[in-house]
Amino acid sequence: MAGILATGLFLVLALLNLIPLVWGVLTSLKAEADLFKFPPVIFGFQPTLANYERVIESGFLQNMQVTVLYCVGTVVAALTLALPAAYAFDRFEFPFRKTLLLLVVASIPLSLGAAALLIPNYIYFTRLGLTNNWFTLPLIYTAHQLPMAIWIIKGTLEGIPRELDEAAVADGASHFDVLRLVILPLSRSALGAAGVMAFVGSWNEFVASTVMVDNPALRPVQPAIYNFIGYFGREWGPLTASATMAIIPILIIFILLGRLIVSGLTKGSVKG
């Protein structure tokens, strides 16, 4: 009975989450005359790709390409910094270790956005001349995603026996060798999960990308979608078409790496 209730609840939640997505996809395929019919037309309309053509003509594919570069750069930088940091937190004792770890944990909400830090970040970046550059957003995204990556990877390192480190050191390996030859291969699932979380968080970021970059050639996906909300109203067709296109890379990642995400999070952030 409990299994049936759990399955039913899961189906209801899945349906509630899929309805807006399906509605947006259908809206993106409607001509302007069908968008404002009342009662709304769900399936009885002639599909058109005019909205997608309008979005592509606006340069949205370039925005997606730029965003992919931002996200890949963020993932590489975040994982490169997070792995040795997690290794140090888990394997070594040093002054203020617990305090710094608590600071990392307290900073995890940054991965969901940091509107409260927007003004000081903008002031600092402006004074340093770092705004409106190709590295501006990857730098901010890396700072946002790094605490979550450290926490996920550290949780996995807690499950790796220290005896492996000691055996490698006894064979003459340095700490860097232990990190590269022992820790890295055994923490691939956590690295994958942290990388996917960093990619998705960077892809969906809106506030910093709207303020820190105003060059159209450097504009990522989310502000590009917002451009279809004009002063005189929303362009629902292009708006939903661009949103649908922006969802596709995320869906591909979760389809290809879904098991890796579950494995990495189960061994990582859920532990302890």
**What one-character-per-residue DSSP string does 167-180 give?**
HHHHTT--HHHHII
User: E strand or H helix at 158, and its extent?
Assistant: none
Q: How many other CB atoms are there within 10 angstroms of residue 33's CB atom?
A: 10
Q: Is 43 helix (H, G, I), strand (E, B) or coil?
A: coil
Instruction: Tell the CATH topology of 50-267.
Output: MetI-like fold (1.10.3720)
Residue 272's pLDDT band, with cuts at 50, 70 and 90, is: very low
Buried/exposed code over 171-188 (b: 16+ C-beta within 10 A; e: otherwise): eebebeebbeebbeeebe
Q: Please state the pTM of the whole predicted model.
A: 0.87
- Look-up of token digits 């617990």: 98
The predicted pLDDT at position 172 comes to 85
Q: Is the dihedral of CA 216, 217, 219, 221 positive or negative?
A: positive
Domain boundaries, the chain: 1-48, 50-267
pLDDT in tens, 137-154: 999 999 999 999 999 999
pLDDT in tens, 15-58: 888 888 888 999 999 988 888 888 887 877 888 999 999 999 99
- Rounded mean pLDDT of the chain? 87
Q: 236 and 27 in contact (C-beta within 8 Å)?
A: yes
